[in-house]
DNA sequence: ACCCTGTTTGAACGGGCGTTCAAAATTCTA
DNA sequence: TAGAATTTTGAACGCCCGTTCAAACAGGGT
């Protein structure tokens, strides 16, 4: 009694291909969302990038909002994984540097996208609440990380709230101007941003 | 032979009231755009905030896009005025501090809005070109300002392009989380951001 | 009180776009 | 190659929203 939506039936190979197709769709959608915004992006736009009609998308996602939702989930999961990984490092400086570099990587990466840069209000109320809750957890972790650095004497005394907003803003804003074909490349960007933003916290 | 649109006719008092009404509309639109984005905002939304039907708006603006366009123009003019004003100051540190504080003020202010934070791609091609050109001029000025600071020895050696993006991103991102009713107030925000972002440039 | 100008309204139109669905095309399985 | 499962398609529906327009309304000057 599985619904059409979940589609638990089918062989392993088929399921695998289906997942790959879903990833393709998310990828195309993410790119379009980032460039034109959610509302300005039509399903035809997304489907067109895949050489397919928009109705084909409905075999993989129930509606347009679900695509945006998955983009958010994907990105947020990645970014929270980064935060967890960072905690294995020793000093606050190392941890924050790692988070910044990886966050930049996620933003500029193709598959995962611009997590906080996407339009949240377009989601339904419940989904919005979930995404915001996850995002807030990440932001809280980031603030804590900064406060640790202040306590340990690595950073100067700053308002962790503002410091976190500065860092998040600088990074998320990348989604607005970054183009893969551009002069600035992703890898260097991460270290440069880390340098710069850590510099703003260093003791003088 | 004046067109309906320009409406050069009418007494001084009438013209004044009209301009005030236009400002009211821009104000309401700006708030709605910032909260929900351009495409998700309907003319009914904007008109509703003014206790009026959407058709009334057409007496002041030819179409929806024109409202967004005016929002952009208003904000960009303000921000470029700030840059000009900053040039009267002596050191690069003073200048940059002034620009940051004032840019934050413009972003958090009610009347003027979030200039670079608004959705540019929604504009028609020609208007888009104009807005982007003006914005680029501002960004170039900002980069030059940073380079001056590097040359004078006030700032450490940084890539002015990246430094400018960090600053712009941090500030423009404010539009995404700032709420006038919130705990963080506009005036302090400006100085805190200036402290923080200048700290990122200071020699160590 | 009356007109003239400026302002607002309600009704209606038209297009765009998300969505549905049955049928065609493609791919897998045996 | 036959049949079954999966994927894609084209046509059509319906809603939302920007836009138009003629008509109603307001209000200030004479």
By the 8 A CB rule, do A189 and A174 touch? Answer: yes
pLDDT one-digit tens code per residue, A150-182: 999 999 999 999 999 999 999 999 988 988 888
Average pLDDT, whole number, for chain A? 90
Residue A110 has pLDDT above 80, yes or no: no
Residue B10 has a pLDDT of 63
The distance (Å) linking the CA of A56 with the C1' of D11 is 15
Task: Indicate the domain borders of chain B.
Answer: 1-62, 65-199
The distance (Å) linking the CA of B18 with the C1' of D24 is 21
pLDDT along chain B (204 residues), means of 10: 44 84 95 92 98 98 97 92 97 97 89 73 95 96 97 94 96 90 86 91 75
Architecture of domain B65-199: Orthogonal Bundle (1.10)
Residue A108 has pLDDT above 80, yes or no: yes
Same fold, B1-62 and B65-199: no
D4 C1' closest Cα residue? A10
Residue B4 has a pLDDT of 40
CB contact under 8 A, B173 and A174: no
Interface test with B, best of A38, A93, A162 (most B CBs within 10 A): A162
For residues B187 and B46, give the distance between their C-alpha atoms in angstroms, rounded to a whole number: 28
CB contact under 8 A, A169 and B173: yes
ipTM of the complex, rounded to two decimals: 0.88
CA B71 to chain A, closest CA, distance in angstroms equals 18
The angle subtended at Cα A171 by Cα B39 and Cα B34, nearest 5°, is 25
Residue B201 has a pLDDT of 83
Interface test with A, best of B163, B183, B196 (most A CBs within 10 A): B196
Contacts of A13 (CB under 8 A, 6+ apart): none
CB contact under 8 A, A35 and B121: yes
pLDDT one-digit tens code per residue, A21-51: 999 999 999 999 988 999 999 999 999 999 9
By the 8 A CB rule, do A150 and B145 touch? Answer: no
Q: Spelled out in words, what is the top-level CATH class assigned to the domain A1-62? A: mainly alpha
CB contact under 8 A, B199 and A202: yes
Residue A172 CB-density burial (10 A; 0-12 exposed, 13-18 middle, 19+ buried): buried
CA B19 to chain A, closest CA, distance in angstroms equals 31
CA B186 to chain A, closest CA, distance in angstroms equals 12
- CA dist B145 to A46, B101, B139, B149, Å? 41, 15, 10, 6
The distance (Å) linking the CA of B55 with the C1' of D8 is 43
For residues A193 and A187, give the distance between their C-alpha atoms in angstroms, rounded to a whole number: 10
Residue B14 has a pLDDT of 79
Q: What is the CATH number of domain A64-199?
A: 1.10.357.10
The distance (Å) linking the CA of B41 with the C1' of C23 is 39
Residue B204 has a pLDDT of 64
CB contact under 8 A, A39 and B35: no
């Amino acid at each position: 009694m599985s619904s059409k939506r979940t589609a638990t039936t089918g062989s392993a190979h088929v399921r695998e291909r289906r997942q790959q197709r879903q990833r393709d769709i998310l990828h195309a959608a993410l790119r379009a969302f980032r460039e034109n915004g959610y509302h300005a992006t039509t399903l035809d736009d997304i489907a067109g990038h895949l050489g397919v009609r928009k109705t084909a998308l409905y075999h993989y996602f129930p509606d347009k909002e679900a695509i945006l939702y998955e983009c958010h989930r994907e990105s947020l999961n990645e970014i929270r994984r980064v935060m967890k990984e960072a905690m294995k490092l020793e000093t606050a400086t190392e941890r924050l540097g790692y988070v910044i570099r990886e966050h930049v990587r996620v933003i500029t990466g193709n598959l995962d996208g611009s997590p906080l840069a996407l339009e949240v209000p377009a989601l339904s109320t419940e989904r919005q609440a979930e995404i915001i809750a996850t995002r807030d957890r990440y932001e809280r972790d980031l603030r804590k990380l900064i406060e640790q650095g202040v306590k340990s004497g690595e950073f100067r005394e700053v308002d962790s709230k503002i410091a976190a907003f500065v860092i998040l803003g600088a990074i998320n804003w990348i989604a607005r101007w970054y183009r893969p074909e551009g002069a600035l490349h992703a890898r260097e960007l991460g270290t440069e941003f880390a340098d710069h933003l850590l510099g703003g916290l260093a003791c003088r």
